[in-house]
Structures are given as C-alpha cells and as structure tokens.
Amino acid sequence: MAVLRSINPYDPSRIINYPQLSDMSLAIRLGRSFSTFTNYRHSSFVERAMLMHKVAALLRERSREFAEVITREMGKPLTEASAEVKKCAWVCEYYADNAARFLEDKVVETEAEESRVIFEPLGPILAIMPWNFPFWQVFRFAAPALMAGNTVLLKHASNVQGCAATIEEIFIEAGFEEGVFQNLAVGSDRIAGIIANEYIKAITLTGSEQAGLAVASEAGRHLKKCVLELGGNNAFVVLNDANRELTLNLAIPARMLNGGQSCIAAKRFILESWIAEDFIPLLVSKVESLVIGDPMEEGTQVGPLVSIKQAKEVEEQVKRSVEMGAKLLLGGERDGAFFQPTILSEVVSGMPVFDEEVFGPVFAVMEASSPEHALELSNKSKFGLGMQVFTASEGSAELFIRGAEEGAVFVNAMVKSDPRLPFGGTKKSGYGRELSEEGIKEFVNIKTIWID
C-alpha cells in the first residue's frame, strides 16, 4: 500500500507512515462531501457559528498539544507553533461572528419592483495546502468556506499528514457532521483527478509558483474557479529617516519567523544609503544572538528547516549568489536540516537571493540611493505578495502605498496576515483573496435577483 511519510526534521530517525486512501475510499469521501453539502448548505449561520466557536475553544484549550504535532512534523519552534494554533482560533471566531453580516442580502435600487444580490455556497471545495503553516493555512480557508455553507476537502502536504488528520478530528469533535470537513490522504499525483471530479466545485491552493501553474491549468481545463496564494520575495525597505530601533526589532521576526519559510517573510532588505552603514552591523549582531537548537525547547528561536532537501536548496541559492559577487557577512553553513541564519550584502538583481524566493533564514541586503530607487528595486520582482517600508515621511510612505506592485503595503510594521484584512498577491504571487469579507466571497455564488 502506498504511504505518505512524515520525517521529524530535528530527528530524522523518527518517521511515521500514513497509508494513502484507496481509489474506492477517495470516491466515498468525494461523494460524502457532496451529499453532506445538500443538507449543510441549509443550516443557519447561528448553527454554523456555534460549531465554529467550539472549534476555536478546542484550539485554545489544547494549543500545546496541537503545537507539538506541528513542531514534530515540520520543525518550527514550539512557541511559534503555539502562536499559530491560537491564531487559528482567532480566524474561527472572526468568521463565526461576522459571516452572517458579510453574506446578508444586498438590496440594490433599480427600476425593478425589487432587486437584490444574494450569496449562496458553491459546494465541495478542494483545498491544497502547504507544510510551512500546517494549521493556519488550512483554518484561514476553512473557517470562511464552512461559514458560507460549503463543505471542504483537504489535500495537505504529504509530510504533515499528522496535522491533517488532527485538524479533521478537531472539526468532528466540535460537532460538525463527518462529511463537512474531510482529509484526503493522497499524493500530489492524484490531484488532477480530484479536480476533474464532478463533485468538486472550486479549488484553493497555497504553494509554489510551479504548483500554482499546474493547479490553475487543471482548474481551467474543467472551468472551475481557483484561488492561488503562491510565493513571495517581499522587500523590507528602510529609508534614511526610519526609526532605527523599531526597524531593527522588526527585521528579525520579519525574516526569521518559521525559520524564514514563509511566503510573506521579508527576503530583500533594501536600505537607503545613509542608514545602511549603521544598520548592517547592528543587524549582524542581532542575528548572531539568536538561539538555535531543539524546536521542542522553550528557549529555541531557530529550529531546523522542514527537511534536509530544503536546507540544501537554500545552501545552493546562497552559494550561487556568493559566486556572483554577494558578500557573506554571517552564516552560510548547513548541518543536516539546520541552516545557519545568514546575511549577504552587496546583493544585486540576477542573483538567486534577489530573483528567487529563498525559503530559509537568509537576509539579502542591498543599498538604494533614494526612496524612488528603493521602490524601483522593490518592484523589480516577479512576485507581488507584500512589502514593508520604514519611514517618518508621509510623502515617502505615500510613494510606496501608491507605487508598490503588491497585494499589501505595510508602513512602519512587518507584513502579516490578519483575519480582518484581505490577503493575496499580484504577478506570480497568484490571484484571488483570502480572509476578511473579500475572502468569504471567493467561494459563493453571487446571485442577482430581479422581481417585477
């Protein structure tokens, strides 16, 4: 029987195999999702909200237990994993409290006796999710989708099947009917067939640019809507008039959260010339002081990357960039799945650490001659997920707010996702939006009603 393998990145000898669903079992789950939807869609917002609040309560009450599952499977420090679980509770509560308002009928004045817009669920939605935030990525989609009246089928990353199974158990324990949220323990080679299935009405994917291309192609072939949240190469811009203490304190979490394995992590540090001389040595000092070790230990700030393969990929990107002229100021060494926090200066366009998404703890530092030059460097990317700019000037802030080719611009703050605000990107970072009112309306039928 084919299996999906979970390997603990801190201790690779700890391996758990999860059996894949047979074709028959997969077909049963797909059919159950649709048959359950025919009843679930008629449940009230009050009923759904009650269940969603129970999910949130479970997440908060057992956050340590669930965090340990995350840390064992993908290696992030336990403190970060606990924060991830609690954020999932927040998004459940947010949609439980706001879904009815977001999806209430909208009256529109026309020459008709009555005209309005109503919002109805689509049906079973396939969610293809990544390993880097194995709880958050799932809940930020599932909470609005379920509150809208859809049912959900999760195809999670193969290496976090413990997380996938746990999430399904949480929804069932909270009282959701068995077919409302189901985990599909299958490999990526079976995704195309699932997308083609008549029961699947739409698809959402968080993942790489390559995965997005493959899923969008399959969805297009079958005329099914999809939302894509793909890679990012976010800029962290520091202008000469920035608050240096604030900027330095945020630079570390902006890059190092999740070991740098985040689509919205700051990856390119663009410093205006006057501030660069002071900023760089202070950044080196702060990064040097980070505690690296066992992610299960409370004091650990940097754990291993998700796998040896991932660490080798980051190592190769750094090596090629140094060969092309980048200056290695700190780190650059790999030990198994661990990769040292690394700072490179004199980075220019054409280097892997400038052009590519580096999914690891690497600071790519470059200088800009002016705010306009900094904006030009920020936009010189095939991605457009988000960026942050630090400045005391309203004019400079407005320059980036209006000029940055991104899905989000954060001024004097680090880029983050928030249930109250739409999340998504431009260019190769994908399309569609998650979270907020915009996110819940991605997977509903926006139906026009005209009565005379």
Task: Return d(Cα 143, Cα 147) in angstroms, integer.
Answer: 6
Query: Please, what is the angle between helix 45-61 and helix 161-174, to 10°?
Result: 130
Let me know if 120 is a catalytic residue: no
- Please pick, among 229, 315, 356, 442, the residue that the annotation labels catalytic: 229
**Active site annotation includes 229:** yes
Name the active-site residue from 80, 84, 263, 406. 263
Handedness of CA 281, 282, 283, 289 (dihedral sign): positive
Q: What is the 3-state secondary structure (H, E, C) of the chain?
A: CCEEEEECCCCCCCEEEEECCCHHHHHHHHHHHHHHHHHHCCCCHHHHHHHHHHHHHHHHHCHHHHHHHHHHHHCCCHHHHHHHHHHHHHHHHHHHHHHHHHCCCEECCCCCCEEEEEEEECCEEEEECCCCCCCHHHHHHHHHHHHCCCEEEEECCHHHHHHHHHHHHHHHHHCCCCCCEEECCCCHHHHHHHHHCCCCCEEEEECCHHHHHHHHHHHHHCCCEEEEECCCCEEEEECCCCCHHHHHHHHHHHHHHHHHCCCCCEEEEEEEHHHHHHHHHHHHHHHHCCCECCCCCCCCCECCCCCHHHHHHHHHHHHHHHHCCCEEEECCCEECCEECCEEEECCCCCCHHHHCCCCCCEEEEEEECCHHHHHHHHHCCCEECCEEEECCCHHHHHHHHHHCCCCCEEECCCCCCCCCCCECCEECCEECCECHHHHHHHHEEEEEEEEC
Q: Could you give the residue numbers annotated as active site?
A: 229, 263
